[in-house]
Amino acid sequence: MSFDSRPAFCVSLRGQELRATMAVQMELHKIIITDTQDQQIIMLKEVDGERKFPMVIGTDSATAIERRLKGTPAPRPMTHDLLSNVIEQLGGTVERIEINNLQDHTFFASIHIRRNGDMIEIDSRPSDAIALGIATTVPIYVAEHVLDEVC
């Protein structure tokens, strides 16, 4: 399966503000898990460029991302596995993850799900969205204005 890595045009509604943004495709470049810290780091890198930036995430999310990257099965479905199974059983497919905002040092994201020809946008923490999409190579996009703030 291949994805178009050109910038995507996205419209985002947060509160009362309607904002159209360009989004740039990124990839998970690195995950750093340290046993002595409560917060872990993932690095996202631009697919067709050089920009990259870190995101601090919790240990549970980092462990879930690492497990899904490695294809390590869990004895019972974990939260991200459960959500993936629910989306699939309801006839949906995750099309993309979008990190669409940064406010007060907190990233915001959305999961874009296609079901019956409709696109459904679900608000999410970026780490949860990435953990959900990483095992199935769902593309990750970051809004240009977010990149401008972090790169």
pLDDT tens digits for 43-83? 999 999 999 999 999 999 999 999 999 999 989 999 989 99
With respect to residue 72, please indicate whether it lies within any of the assigned structural domains. Answer: yes
Predicted confidence (pLDDT) per residue in 9-44, tens digit? 544 444 434 455 699 999 999 999 999 988 999 999
What residues make up the domain containing 98?
27-147
Q: Which residue stretches of 42-125 are H helix? A: 59-70, 79-89
Query: What pLDDT shows up at residue 116?
Result: 96
CA atoms within 13 A on the CB side of 107: 28
Rounded Cα–Cα distance for residues 33 and 104 (Å): 24
pLDDT at residue number 137:
85
88: Cα within 13 Å, side-chain hemisphere: 9
Q: Would 34 be classed as within a structural domain?
A: yes
Domain assignment present for residue 7? The answer is no
Average pLDDT, the chain: 88
pLDDT the model gives residue 5 = 44
pTM listed for this prediction: 0.84
Q: How many domains does the chain have?
A: 1
| Residue 49's CATH number | 3.10.690.10
The answer to the question of residue 92 being in a domain is yes
Residue 121 lies in a domain: yes
Candidates 48, 72, 65; CA nearest to 129 is 65
> Hey, is 111 helix, strand or coil?
strand
Residue at 55 is within a domain = yes
Residue 2 pLDDT > 90, yes or no?
no
